[in-house]
Amino acid sequence: MLLPIPDLVDAADVVAIRTLVDAAEWVDGNITSGHQSALAKRNLQLPEDCEAARRAGQIVLDALGRSALFIAAALPLKIFPPLFNSYAGGQAFGVHVDNAVRLQAGTGFRVRSDLSITVFLEDPDAYDGGELTIETHFGVQQVKLPAGHAVLYPSSSLHRVEPVTRGRRVASFFWLQSMVRDDAARQTLFDLDRSIQGVAAELGQGHSEVIRLTGVYHNLLRRWGDA
């Protein structure tokens, strides 16, 4: 599943996030890299224990909690605290795959990375390059979205960030563990959920077919999900 989430973070919150992160001290992005990623990664990042990153990350998490589209698609169980990165002056992140398990520094908190999220925090006309390029079963997809928009995609995907040749690309990125580990099962549940919403809009929420389909959805979630 590769899913854009429009307007995840509203304009006022984008400004609040950028005010926090732009004033913070950025460091080499390889502070959170595994061995493979460190060979390909050239960017700046806010440290995990940075107060600005923590406060900005909470704004992002609050936005996720309000997004019905995100919750339906991701079925989140655990979310890694949002991180923030910056690319400029030709910086890029070559082809890589995200680590299967992410550990929060200095804590016992860990997340199996089923899904990755990028939240764009700079308008696309403000920089050249910087596309998030994801290799999918349907070919290579490039994503470059307006500030406040996000994209959700499998952490198992090979992906890269193209060189930024003008301006600065700022984004939040993080991972989540879904209640449903299998991507195909998660996609089936998401498609079923959208179909239920469509039928309910036509027939009414209390219609017998809506109730029947809702039961199918929850029984599949019981079969496939861990909570």
Residue 33's pLDDT is: 55
- 119 and 200 share one domain: no
Per-residue pLDDT of the chain (227 residues; tens, 9 = 90+): 899 999 999 999 999 999 999 999 999 987 765 556 666 889 999 999 999 999 999 999 999 999 999 999 999 999 999 999 999 999 999 999 999 999 998 888 999 999 999 999 999 999 999 999 999 888 999 999 999 999 999 999 999 999 999 999 999 999 999 999 999 999 999 999 999 999 999 999 999 999 999 999 999 999 999 98
- 65 and 95 share one domain: yes
Beta bridge partners of 176: 79, 115
- 153 and 200 share one domain: no
Query: Residue 113 belongs to a domain with what CATH number?
Result: 2.60.120.620
- 189 and 161 share one domain: no
Query: Residue 217 belongs to a domain with what CATH number?
Result: 4.10.860
| Contact of 155 with 65, CB cutoff 8 Å | no
Residue 11's pLDDT is: 98
What token pair was written down for 50?
A: 């940075």
Give the strand pairing for 132-136 and 139-143.
antiparallel
Tell me which residue of 149, 141, 142 sits closest to 118, measured CA to CA: 149
Q: Which amino acid is at 155?
A: S
Please give the model's pTM, rounded to 2 decimal places. 0.93
Q: Which amino acid is at 178?
A: S
> What range defines the domain where residue 215 resides?
183-224
Radius of gyration of the chain (CA): 18
Residue 106's pLDDT is: 85
- 200 and 101 share one domain: no
- 50 and 107 share one domain: yes
Three-state SS for 152? strand
What token pair was written down for 82?
A: 């949002």
- 19 and 105 share one domain: yes
